[in-house]
Structure 1
Amino acid sequence: MSTWHRCSIRIRLTVVAGAVMALLCTVVAVFALVAVREASVDDRTQRLATHAMEMARQIRHSGISPHLLLNRRNEAIQVFDPAGTLVTATPGFTAREPPITNLRPDVDSYAIARLCDLRAFPGQCKIVISYPLHKADGVWLLNMAVADVPWYVGPRLLIPLAAGWLLLVGATAAGTYRTVSKTLEPVGAIGRELAQITASDLGHRVPVPKYQDELRDLAEIANKTLDRAQAAVEQQLRFASDASHDLRSPLTAIRVQIDEALMYPKETDWPRTANALLDSVERLQDLVTDLLQIARLDAGISGQRDPIDLTGLVAAELDRRPRRVAVICHLTPGVMINGERIGLARLLNNLLDNAERHADSAITVALTLEAGTAVLEVCDDGEGIAPDQREAIFQRFARLEASRRRDAGGTGLGLPIARQIAETHGGTLTIEDSPRGARFVLRLPGHSAPSADHARTPTKV
């Protein structure tokens, strides 16, 4: 990993913002320097031409006076007669010195240019003008030169530009660092709060920022995730507690029966004791089977999904074993679904066993196909379930009083397993109103078989 990627977000954003501002300020400064320099060059060129015209007028009217070159310290001046002899010049120029410029103006106009590395000024750049003077004895030549404007124009421009550049870049970097730091403060608070959360202490929640922005959304999502995690852990703890309690009951019964038989071996009816132990072992086996099924469903483990003739599956499960009450069937032929045969058989048997346990005289099983949905109804003619308890019976280990009276050895996991199997198949399992007893309704995505048999007539099993 590069050094850049090891830096914090605030450092990287500060550097990027500072670099962008530095680039913008540099571009603006360059444009300002170019514009001001061009204006300064034009101004200096115009002033040089004006000075040359004034000096030419003085020479034509007054001649070359001793005061001609006074107050010309910033200008280099040479005056040549028609023969090309140097008549006068600013200090430092003699007859042996080369001309300031070799420009040859027209007799009626002057020539002006910006030149560098002149013989008279090696290594320098100058603005030079060659101005013709018309006198009685011929055309004289006035050469003048001033220093060219440097690239930085002058300290009075360069210093403010540099100070402004540093101020803007520094202010941008500092402002970015402060803004990003303030923006990331909630992230730090969220991180510190999350660091305190452990498996045994899920009560912490991250602070929610007051501004409605992405960080607030992140905090709210984190809190909702923690709520779900806490609920899941609490559910697992309750499940473990309930499972251990229900497992302990048959084990305790087995232990008591064995201890009693061992204390009075001669008086014990061993066949009867064995049958009682078998009942307890069977209940224990049923409970372990249900717990394994719950664990598989919670882990999302499911078998292979295949096209299944639901009508045939329901008929086969109804014919598998006799029931203590009559079973009335209304099965629509050719109802097809995609699912796991073993899981669906477990679901159907759980519903049938529950109905048989609570029915007085009959169970009604109906299967229809409604607008792409397979609807299976399992009804009994028992006491029914109060509306406010219809969801409670789908909770794990939940058993109503009527259920405890009719079957004290139940596990309380049959209906929760049935609903979970339905949900894994993309369906629902609910309890709906009925004139008498309980009416369980299973809905699964389904379709009709390509060639369906005639509808099955109601029968009693």
Structure 2
Amino acid sequence: MSTWHRCSIRTRFTVVASTVMALICTVAAVFALVAVRKAVVEDRTQRLVIHAVDMARQIRQSGVSPRMLSDGHNEAVQVFDPADTPVAATPGFSAREPPITNLRPDVDAYTVVRLCDLHAFPGQCKIVISYPLHRADGVWLLNMAVADVPWYVGPRLLASLAAGWLLLVGMTAAGTYRTVSKTLEPVGAISGKLAQITASDLGHRVPVPKYRDELRDLAEIANKTLDRAQTAVEQQLRFASDASHDLRNPLAAMRVQIDEALMYPKETDWPQTANALLDSMERLQDLVTDLLQIARLDAGISSRHDPVDLTGLVTAELDRRPRRVAVIRRLTPGVVIDGERIGLVRLLNNLLDNAERHADSAITVTLTLEADTAVLEVCDDGEGIAPDQQEVIFQRFARLEASRRRDAGGTGLGLPIARQIAETHNGTLTLEDSPRGARFVLRLPGRAAPPADHARTPTKV
């Protein structure tokens, strides 16, 4: 990992923001220097032209005087007669020097140029004007030169731009570092609170920032995740407690029966004791099987889903063994779904066993295909379930009073397992209203519509 990626987020943001601001300030400073220098050059050139015009006017009127040349504005001046003979020059600049420039302007116009490394000014750049002036004896030539404007214009301007550059970049760096630090404060608080959370203490929640932004969304999602985790852990703890309780009951019953038989071996009816132990072992086996099924469903383990003829599957399970009550069938032929056959068999048998347990005289099994959805209804004509208990029955180990009276050995896991199997098939299992008894409705995605020529005929078994 590079050094850059090892830096903190605030450091990287600060460096990036400062670099961008430095580039912007540099470009702005360059443009400012170019604009100011252009303005200063134009002003200096204009002043040079004005001075040349004024000096030419004086020469035409009264000739050349030393005072005229000494009163210049830091310009170097040369005056040549019509024979190109030097007539006068500024002090310190010999009149015998060759012309500053060899420009020969038109007699009715002047010429202004920028020249460097002139013989009279080596290593320097000058703004030079060559101005013709008309006198009675011919056309005289006035050459004037003034220092060019340097690229930085002047020390004061360069210092001002440098100070502004440093100030803006520094303020950007400080502001970015502070802003990012303030922005990341909730992240630090969230991290600190998450570090305190353990599997045995899920009651903590991360602080939620007051501003409605992405960090607030993150904190709310984290709290919702912790809520789900806490609910799941509490559910697992309750599940473990309920499972251990239900496992302990048949084991305790078996132990009591064995102890009693051993205490009075001659008076014990061993076949009866063996049958009682087999009943307890069967209950224990059913409970372990249900627990393994729930563990398998919770882990998301499922076999491959293949096309299943649901009509044939329901028919086969209804014919597999007789029931203590009549079974009324209303099955639509040709209902096919994608599913796991073993899981669907377990789901159907759980519903049928539950209906048989609570029915008074009959169970009605209905299978239809509605809008590409297979709908299986299992109804009984028993006491029914109170509205406030319709979701309780799908909780693990939940057993209503009526269920305990009819089957004291139940595990309370049949309906929860059935609903989980339905959900693994992208379906639903609900308890819906019925004129009498309980009506469980299973909905699963179907594969094909039923043939139109089949009729549903009620039959009793």
Please state which band the TM-score falls in when normalised by the shorter chain: over 0.9
Distance across 2 between alignment mates of 1:409 and 1:321: 21
Q: Which residue of 2 aligns with 1:427?
A: 427
- 1:308 corresponds in structure 2 to 308
Q: Is 2:374 the counterpart of 1:369?
A: no
**SS of alignment partner, residue 124 of structure 1:** strand
Matched positions, count = 461
Q: State the 1:160 CA deviation.
A: 2.2
In structure 2, what is the equivalent of residue 7 of structure 1?
A: 7
More displaced 10-residue stretch of structure 1: 199-208 or 164-173: 164-173
- Pairwise CA RMSD: 2.0
SS at match of 1:322: coil
Structure 2 residue identity aligned to 1:218: L
In structure 1, list runs of 5 or more residues that go unmatched: none
For residue 75 of structure 1, what is the aligned residue in structure 2? Answer: 75
Task: Verify: 1:277 aligned to 2:277, yes or no.
Answer: yes
In 2, Cα distance between the equivalents of 1:8 and 1:307?
55
Matches within 5 A, 1:286-365: 286-365=286-365
Asked whether the 8 Å contact 1:383–1:437 carries over to 2, the reply is yes
Q: Find the aligned partners of 2:307 and 2:64 in 1 and give their Cα distance.
A: 120
Q: 1:107 to 1:369 in 2, by over 3 A?
A: closer
TM-score using structure 2 length: 0.94
In structure 1, the partner of 2:146 is 146
Distance 2:379 2:112 in 1: 113
C-alpha contact 2:78 2:88 (8 A) present in aligned 1: yes
Moved more, 197-206 or 56-65: 56-65
Structure 2's unaligned 5+ residue stretches are none
Deviation at 1:55, TM superposition (A): 2.0
Change in 2 beyond 3 A, CA 1:449/1:306: farther
Q: Distance in 1 between matches of 2:183 and 2:436?
A: 63
The aligned residue for residue 259 of structure 2 is 259
Kept in 2, the 8 Å contact 1:331–1:455? The answer is no
Pairwise CA distance, 1:316: 0.7
Corresponding residue of 2:226: 226
Q: 1:89 to 1:319 in 2, by over 3 A?
A: same
Q: Deviations over 1:297-334 (max 9, x none)?
A: 11111122122121111111111112122222222222
Identify the residue that residue 214 of structure 1 maps to in structure 2: 214
Q: Secondary structure at the match of 1:100?
A: coil
Match of 1:64 in 2: 64
Map of 2:235 onto structure 1: 235
Corresponding position of 2:185: 185
CA contact (8 A) 2:15 2:173 kept: yes
SS in 1 for 2:224: helix
Measured against aligned partners, the alpha-carbon deviations of 1:29-77 in whole angstroms (never above 9, x if no partner) come to: 2222212211211111111122122222323333332312223362112
| TM-score, scaled relative to structure 1 | 0.94
Is the contact made by 1:78 and 1:86 (CA closer than 8 Å) also made in structure 2? yes
The 8 Å contact of residues 333 and 452 in structure 1, kept in 2 or not, is answered as no
Counterparts of 2:361 and 2:220 in 1: how far apart (Å)?
54
State the Cα distance separating 1:229 from its structure 2 match. 1.0
Indicate conservation of the 8 Å contact 1:369/1:447, yes or no: no
| 8 A Cα contact 2:369 2:449, kept in partner | no
**Secondary structure in 2 matching 1:69:** helix
Q: What do residues 164-220 of structure 1 show as CA deviations (whole Å, max 9, x unaligned)?
A: 222222222222222222112111111111111111111111111111112111111
Which amino acid is 1:252 matched to? A
Q: Contact conserved, 2:338 with 2:447, CA < 8 A, in 1? A: no
368-377 or 353-362, larger mean C-alpha shift: 368-377
Q: Which amino acid letter does the alignment assign opposite residue 390 of structure 1?
A: Q
1:242-292 C-alpha deviation (Å, 9 max, x unpaired): 111111111112222222222333332222221111111111110010001
Q: Is the partner of 2:221 in helix, strand or coil?
A: helix
* AA at the equivalent of 2:433: D
Mapped contact 2:335–2:450 kept (Cα < 8 A): no
After TM superposition, give the deviation of residue 394 of structure 1 in Å: 0.8
Residues 334 and 452, structure 1, Cα contact 8 Å, conserved in 2 = no
- For residue 106 of structure 1, report the CA deviation from its aligned partner: 2.7
Question: Relative to structure 1, is the Cα distance of residues 287 and 96 closer, same or farther in structure 2, using a 3 angstrom cutoff?
Answer: same
Residues 236/49 of structure 1: CA separation in 2 closer, same or farther (3 Å cut): same
The match for 1:161 is 161
**C-alpha deviation, 1:345, in angstroms:** 0.7
Give percent identity, aligned residues only: 86
Aligned-residue offset at 1:408: 1.0
C-alpha distance 139-444 of structure 1, shift in aligned 2 (>3 A):
closer
Q: Give 1:39's aligned amino acid.
A: A
Q: 1:311 to 1:107 in 2, by over 3 A?
A: closer
